[in-house]
Chain A
């Protein structure tokens, strides 16, 4: 198992380097001279040149990239153009909020999706089945931000059960943002859980379990569900990218003080170092979470585990 984790970790390094390189190159296409932006229109040509030299902007782009990565490894992401605060300070003060939102959303979607998918499969072709699959296809088709706006309209403006904008430090303020972010992945997970459950409960070993008199409850929970989880875990992995992208939108809808909102605000104020930092942190998170899902996958599926023993 350790060998597998080590192998996956090593394979991730070139991917992260590639991702950061692409993002860095694209962001370097942004028009405007950073030194000029910092010093303002009134600065002389000499002052600008001096700052360019100091910031290393005259070096080849690839040198600048490796310097950026080197600094990144030391926790330094450069400084914000406007506030001159360290980008890393700015990002990591908001990072826990985004993590909180993403975790709450993942929790919501798993708690809602698994029972929905499992019961729909066990009670195939009943009203419950059609109803939950209807909810699921709506969930896949519904834009995150619209669902958020509708939740705000119904539960915050009309019923006044929850606050209109998200609040990081209390549960009530987290419900609507987390539900909004969860809806899409919940729907996808419920659909996959249902179809893989349907496949599993037709297997011979389920018939055997029934034949030896195992109760329906135990057949489902102990024999069918663990086997049906493998595709579901894959979907959780595939949905993480969507969850991160969704976080950018969801944080904007609910004014949630996370990295997503920081990213959007920084784009609007053309604060390139912060934009770059946010996107790079997002991409690294995405790769890391994918790695965790892969390891989890190996953990659930003994066939993968056995290859590395």
Chain B
């Protein structure tokens, strides 16, 4: 075995050191952080009732100006305010859904990988079935049956993300299961749950973290697509896809209404993808 003569650093510090060297990932991280702060402190900058959903008939459809940086929409509402508040919907729903999916998926994946046999085949057949329904289509089905609500969206998106994590964790657990440290833990009589939680899971975090970042990006795209179809977040609540959908009637004369919300989505997804790619390289240097 290779002898480590250097000062032992934690995996986190090591990853961070490598991540810092990746320009794209750092730009992504900065933008994502700023977006988060904007979403959290949106209430400090704008007042929801007056700026975001309050209508102002003196300032209908004005182009970008010093007062309204991104212009105003057909009801005189400031577009920048609506985009910033819109990030709340996208970020909250996608985080809730993906986090739920990651927890449930990892749970079943760990069980499937650790115990194998019949349990494994049953869980894997279930994931096959879920994987056979595209995410957007599954969300559309649930929304068509239960109506549009934040809760339905979260559940639908969570369910369609479960199989990815299930497979991911099953794979990692399978490679960990036979390793020496797990055997040692079993030999000293550790409980199965302790082995899984303390000895196997910590070694599976890296791929889950990368997948988490990338899933958030895909999920935000799905949410905006659903809202664009009128099946996601309902008006007058601002959401990026819904903003784009309502801009269609004014697209010819008021181009900015179409351009800015789309740019907001694209920059968010771009940053998350850059960050995810960077994380993958930093966590697994062999892939470079």
Residues of A within 8 A of B (CB): 14-16, 18-19, 22-23, 26-30, 137-138, 140-146, 149-150, 152-153, 157, 241-242, 244-245, 248-249, 252, 263-264, 267-268, 272, 275, 279, 282-283, 286-287, 290
B225 sits at the interface (CB 8 A):
yes
Bound state CA distance, A19 and B137, in angstroms? 12
Residue in B closest to A11 when the chains form the complex, CB atoms:
B128
B125 sits at the interface (CB 8 A):
yes
Question: Nearest chain A CB to B224's CB is how many angstroms away?
Answer: 6
Contact B225 A144 (CB under 8 A): yes
Bound state CA distance, A150 and B229, in angstroms? 17
Instruction: Write out the residue numbers on chain A whose beta carbons fall within 8 Å of the beta carbon of B247.
Output: 149
The 8 Å CB contact of B136, one of A19, A22, A245, A252, is A245
Residue in B closest to A30 when the chains form the complex, CB atoms:
B145
Contact B265 A146 (CB under 8 A): yes
Instruction: Write out the residue numbers on chain B whose beta carbons fall within 8 Å of the beta carbon of A29.
Output: 145-146
Contact B273 A137 (CB under 8 A): yes
With A143-B221, A153-B251, A242-B134 as given contacts, are A22 and B266 in contact (CB-CB < 8 Å)?
Answer: no
Contact B228 A249 (CB under 8 A): yes
B33 sits at the interface (CB 8 A):
no
Type the 1/0 row for B121-146, where 1 means its CB is closer than 8 Å to any CB of A.
Answer: 00001101110111111001111111
Residue in B closest to A263 when the chains form the complex, CB atoms:
B140
Question: Nearest chain A CB to B284's CB is how many angstroms away?
Answer: 14
Bound state CA distance, A286 and B248, in angstroms? 30
8 A Cβ contacts from B236-262 to A: 241, 244, 247-248, 251-252, 255, 258-259, 261-262
Q: How many A-B residue pairs have CB under 8 A?
A: 133
Question: Nearest chain B CB to A27's CB is how many angstroms away?
Answer: 5
Number of B residues near A (Cβ < 8 Å) is 44
Instruction: Write out the residue numbers on chain A whose beta carbons fall within 8 Å of the beta carbon of B221.
Output: 143
Contact A149 B258 (CB under 8 A): yes
Contact B134 A244 (CB under 8 A): yes
The 8 Å CB contact of A150, one of B128, B217, B228, B262, is B262
With A137-B273, A150-B262 as given contacts, are A26 and B141 in contact (CB-CB < 8 Å)?
Answer: yes
Residues of B within 8 A of A (CB): 125-126, 128-130, 132-137, 140-146, 217, 221-222, 224-225, 228-231, 241, 244, 247-248, 251-252, 255, 258-259, 261-262, 265-266, 269-270, 273-274
The 8 Å CB contact of B128, one of A15, A157, A245, A248, is A15
With A143-B262, A241-B135 as given contacts, are A19 and B225 in contact (CB-CB < 8 Å)?
Answer: no
Extra pairs beyond A141-B270, A150-B258, A241-B134 (11, CB < 8 Å): A22-B130, A27-B144, A140-B273, A143-B228, A143-B241, A143-B262, A145-B241, A245-B134, A245-B135, A263-B140, A264-B230
Contact B134 A146 (CB under 8 A): no
With A143-B262, A252-B229 as given contacts, are A149 and B251 in contact (CB-CB < 8 Å)?
Answer: yes
Contact B129 A146 (CB under 8 A): no
Residue in B closest to A147 when the chains form the complex, CB atoms:
B262
Instruction: Write out the residue numbers on chain B whose beta carbons fall within 8 Å of the beta carbon of A142.
Output: 262, 266, 269
Instruction: Write out the residue numbers on chain A whose beta carbons fall within 8 Å of the beta carbon of B222.
Output: 245
Contact A26 B129 (CB under 8 A): no
Bound state CA distance, A138 and B222, in angstroms? 16
Contact B132 A15 (CB under 8 A): yes
Bound state CA distance, A268 and B259, in angstroms? 27
With A27-B145, A153-B258 as given contacts, are A244 and B137 in contact (CB-CB < 8 Å)?
Answer: yes
Bound state CA distance, A267 and B229, in angstroms? 10
Contact A145 B228 (CB under 8 A): yes
Instruction: Write out the residue numbers on chain A whose beta carbons fall within 8 Å of the beta carbon of B225.
Output: 143-145, 245, 249
Give the top 8 A-B pairs by smallest Cβ distance, nearest first: A245-B136, A241-B134, A146-B262, A18-B129, A141-B269, A141-B270, A30-B145, A267-B144
Q: List 26 A-B contacts (CB under 8 A).
A: A16-B132, A18-B126, A27-B144, A29-B146, A30-B146, A137-B274, A141-B217, A142-B262, A142-B266, A142-B269, A143-B224, A143-B225, A143-B241, A149-B258, A149-B262, A150-B258, A244-B137, A245-B225, A248-B140, A263-B140, A267-B140, A275-B141, A279-B144, A282-B134, A283-B137, A290-B132
